Amino acid sequence: MRNSSPAKCVRRARFEHYCERQDMKTKTGNDNLFAVLEGRFPRSLDTCCLETPEGLNYTWRDLLRASARLANLTKALGLRPGARVAVQVEKSPEALMLYLASLRAGLIFLPLNTAYQAGEIDYFIGDAKPELVVCSPERLSWVEPIARRHGVRHVHTLGANRDGTLLAAGAPHADEFRTVSRRPDDLAAILYTSGTTGRSKGAMLSHGNLASNARTLQRYWGWCRGDVLLHALPIFHVHGLFVAVHGALYNASKMIWLARFDPAAVIGQLPRATVFMGVPTMYVRLLDEPGFDRQCCAGMRLFISGSAPLRTETFEEFERRAGMRILERYGMSETIMLTSNPCAGERIAGTVGKPLPGVELRIVDDSGTACGFGENGVIQVRGPNVFRGYWRMPAKTRSEFTADGFFRTGDVGQFDANGYVRIVGRNRDLIITGGYNVYPKEIETIIDELPGVLESAVIGLSDRDFGEAVAAVVVPRTGVTLDAQALIASLRSRIAGYKVPRRIFIVPELPRNAMGKVQKNILRDSYAQ
């Protein structure tokens, strides 16, 4: 790639995309993602597919049967292909079976962060209009009334330990199910991403989007026979649900399934695994453990990082301690994975690698002209992985695509001399904390509704653990005295915990420029310490 121009990179990607399409055309049959994954399952279905440290063990046959039972249940409930299923449950093997069942039945899966509070769930259910809502038993008392108010026909519960009504309702159903036929463009999932205007948008991902990315990553990351994935990510976002799960299933690899990320538990399981995926916060926390060393990583083939920038210090400290380099990659809910450092070649700190085969990635300036090496511009992408648009937002969808069909990522980057992409910023106001996205506008709107608040500005401050931490600068109404801790307490019941500002600063006024726009850079500098 050295000496090849950015334009050549785009041409190469277009050719790879063409080859990929030809490759897919030769296949006949069902383009349902589950059928694609099942086609790759091992010949012996009685080998282990997923195990937990608590001693649960699921074979590939168990996975087929459990997902078939739940797919049959959805059919018996009257859900037809294209119906939505909204799911807010704790991570468990059965939660995974529910996702797979939903694919098999041709339903559209809506995974929801377990941190979401009533206001957030109300919006997602009202917008997506699911026919089935599955929540954890502890949340039923407030989720069910919301679901009923929006006319949801069926509400079930699924607990972390195989409890709840869903599995009981599924138990009498047949454990065989003919996976519903889907075309590549049919929707498989809607992933809500926070909105710049405060309204979340549902990114519609198709079976074809997900299958093409799984196929590409399997080759690019050199997944091989005998690989074992240590899965410690949540399964309500692209990273844990698609990149990690599809990676293992497409490669017929066993998963060691941790209910949550716990550095000591990860270190304990590493000797039994070969692949690990995490957000930068997870790597920072692993490095804080004295027990994290070359010995526990001896059998590991690949550590992958994404969802947020990996600091060079973390990359370098990891190499010193583990004796290997983290592979950093870059993607979005709307596009799944876009670029990656190589599996075999050089992994460069501070870069997210090259565009994946089949992904056309260009970096352009304000006039739309391609930037040269080392020049900053906005990142635009096109390819079989790019989503079908925002759910029920055709105008928003149109505005996010260029006339020639490239999606505007909102990220600012540059190609370095090796053709590797560096993300240098974002042209939208976004905070990424521990791998979760927080849009300041959403939080400001909620803070401004609190009694006594005149206005607010939400900013991200550098944080060793989370990369960025959410902070708010709040102006009280005249004559009102605000208490920062009381504001934080009232926000906790309104929004997911990771969106709640860690710190709130009360000030008499916000700095503004001549146009009246709040100068967040001044606020970030003032509160950096």
Per CB under 6 A, does 257 bind ligand MCA?
no
Beta-carbon contacts of 335 under 8 Å, excluding residues fewer than 6 positions away, are 381, 383, 385, 386, 387, 407, 409
Per CB under 6 A, does 471 bind ligand AMP?
no
Per CB under 6 A, does 467 bind ligand MCA?
no
Q: Which is nearer to ligand AMP, 228 or 327 (CB)?
A: 327
DSSP label at 307? S
The site partner of 261 among ligand AMP, ligand MCA, none (C-beta below 5 to 8 Å per kind) is: ligand MCA
Per CB under 6 A, does 237 bind ligand MCA?
yes
Q: Which is nearer to ligand AMP, 83 or 423 (CB)?
A: 423
End-to-end CA distance of the chain: give it in Å, rounded: 41
Per CB under 6 A, does 282 bind ligand AMP?
no
Sign of CA dihedral 161, 124, 500, 241: positive
d(CA 177, CA 174): 7
Stretch that binds ligand AMP, among 6-14, 306-314, 366-374, 399-407 (CB under 6 A): 306-314
The site partner of 281 among ligand AMP, ligand MCA, none (C-beta below 5 to 8 Å per kind) is: ligand MCA
Count CB-CB contacts under 10 A for residue 357.
19
Among 352, 381, 472, 510, contact with ligand AMP (rule: CB under 6 A) = 352
CB of 468 to ligand AMP, least distance (A): 11
Per CB under 6 A, does 279 bind ligand MCA?
yes
Which residues, numbered 503-522, are part of the site for ligand AMP (CB under 6 A)? none
Among 96, 238, 326, 453, contact with ligand MCA (rule: CB under 6 A) = 238
Sign of CA dihedral 525, 526, 527, 529: positive
Beta-carbon contacts of 15 under 8 Å, excluding residues fewer than 6 positions away, are none
DSSP label at 491? H
d(CA 144, CA 134): 9
The DSSP line for 45-70 is: TTSEEEE-TTS-EEEHHHHHHHHHHH
Tell me if 202 sits within 8 A of 128, measured CB to CB. yes
Which residues, numbered 400-459, are part of the site for ligand MCA (CB under 6 A)? 433-436
Tell me if 71 sits within 8 A of 177, measured CB to CB. yes
CB of 154 to ligand MCA, least distance (A): 28
Tell me if 250 sits within 8 A of 223, measured CB to CB. yes
Stretch that binds ligand MCA, among 1-9, 249-257, 331-339, 362-370 (CB under 6 A): 331-339
Among 179, 200, 305, 307, contact with ligand MCA (rule: CB under 6 A) = 307
CB of 492 to ligand MCA, least distance (A): 7
* Residues within the interface to ligand MCA (CB under 6 A): 233-234, 237-240, 260-261, 279, 281-282, 306-307, 331-333, 433-436, 466, 497-498
* Residues within the interface to ligand AMP (CB under 6 A): 193, 238, 306-309, 328, 330-333, 352, 409, 411, 423, 426, 432, 437
